Amino acid sequence: MIPDYHIHTGRCGHASGGMRQYADEAVNKGLGEIGFSDHIPMYWLPSDSRDPGLAMAEEQFPGYVAEVLGLKSEFSSLSIRLGVEVDYIPGRETAIKPFLLGCPFDYVIGSVHYIDGWGFDNPALLEEFGRQNIDEIYEKYFDLLCAAASSRLFDIIAHPDLIKKFGHRPAAPPLELYRRAAVAMAGAGVCVEVNTAGLRVPAEEIYPSLDFLRICRLEGVPASTGSDAHAPGLVGAGFSQAADLLREAGYREVAVFKGRTRNMIKI
Ligand SMILES: [Zn+2]
Ligand SMILES: [Zn+2]
């Protein structure tokens, strides 16, 4: 079974369950490898304005790392990796770098959840989609995605067409934007994440779309896989569809990481 490298836990403030429950679920479902990727503390905001519903507090971070490292040695039939999901915020690259280099991460996932401060994947902020031109929103989103890939801070770019989450799409598939993003990911050697959370939102489609994933394959971008589980029962959710999508796009292997070094395994 393909690895699940995108797992959140109760620590991030908007998921349920402890790490052990996620690991037990992975064993029950026959997964061989998982990685935890809770949201990094919101380091780019002053500490009194951080939202505990979006990411763990800084003082929780050492406990997060210690718990993953503890579970690693406890589970013999399941490989457990230490990851983290990090928002890409332009201008904050130098602030985040020491944080990422100072921890024994196996991999780092970079995400775009904000366009000019607008949390576009937050259901409470949906109205903004009606105020802006959808083509321009996509342009801005993909510019940020390219910048995230090119920052070389990350090993994996998460849910690469998250902007479609609520079903807002341009009139035609934005193939040129996909190509630009794929070229940026290939150039930086980062993975495109095949993320099954898209199946569970109005978009009703894995991130990325088949069109986008095919272009990634053509440009030579390696792929990784994740469920974006926010509850233990969602570990590995939609993975047979993810494997089918990968094969349809031409992929025959996916990435695994250890100490931020990538290896490929057959699917
Ligand atoms: Zn995310
Ligand atoms: Zn996530």
* Number of helical (H) and strand (E) elements in the chain, helices listed first: 8, 11
Measured in Å, residue 195 CA sits from the centre of ligand 1 at 10
Measured in Å, residue 108 CA sits from the centre of ligand 1 at 12
CA–CA separation, 233 and 40 (whole Å)? 23
Span of 47-51, 186-190, 225-229, 262-266 with lowest mean pLDDT: 47-51
In terms of pLDDT, which residue wins out, 102 or 174?
174
In terms of pLDDT, which residue wins out, 94 or 263?
263
Measured in Å, residue 141 CA sits from the centre of ligand 1 at 14
Residues 50-95: tens digit of each pLDDT: 777 777 777 888 899 999 999 999 998 999 999 999 999 998 888 8
> What's the mean pLDDT in 111-121?
94
Rg (CA), the chain: 17
Tell the residue number behind the tokens 């998460």, with chain if given.
158
Give 4's DSSP letter.
B
- Angle 106-111-117 from CA coordinates, rounded to 5°: 140
CA–CA separation, 59 and 194 (whole Å)? 31
Domain residue ranges in the chain:
10-266
Measured in Å, residue 97 CA sits from the centre of ligand 1 at 19
Contact 241, 253 (CB under 8 A): no
Binning pLDDT at 50, 70 and 90, where does residue 11 land?
A: confident
Measured in Å, residue 140 CA sits from the centre of ligand 1 at 17
Contact 157, 255 (CB under 8 A): no
The number of the ligand nearest the C-alpha atom of 39 reads: 2
Write down the pLDDT at residue 190. 98
Question: What is this structure's pTM?
Answer: 0.95
Residue 220 pLDDT greater than 70, yes or no: yes
Give 229's DSSP letter.
B
- Architecture of 10-266 per CATH? Alpha-Beta Barrel (3.20)
> What's the mean pLDDT in 218-241?
98
Give 41's DSSP letter.
P
Measured in Å, residue 179 CA sits from the centre of ligand 2 at 24
CA–CA separation, 134 and 140 (whole Å)? 10
Measured in Å, residue 231 CA sits from the centre of ligand 1 at 15
Write down the pLDDT at residue 155. 98
Residues 165-190: tens digit of each pLDDT: 999 999 999 999 999 999 999 999 99
β-strand partners of 194: 225
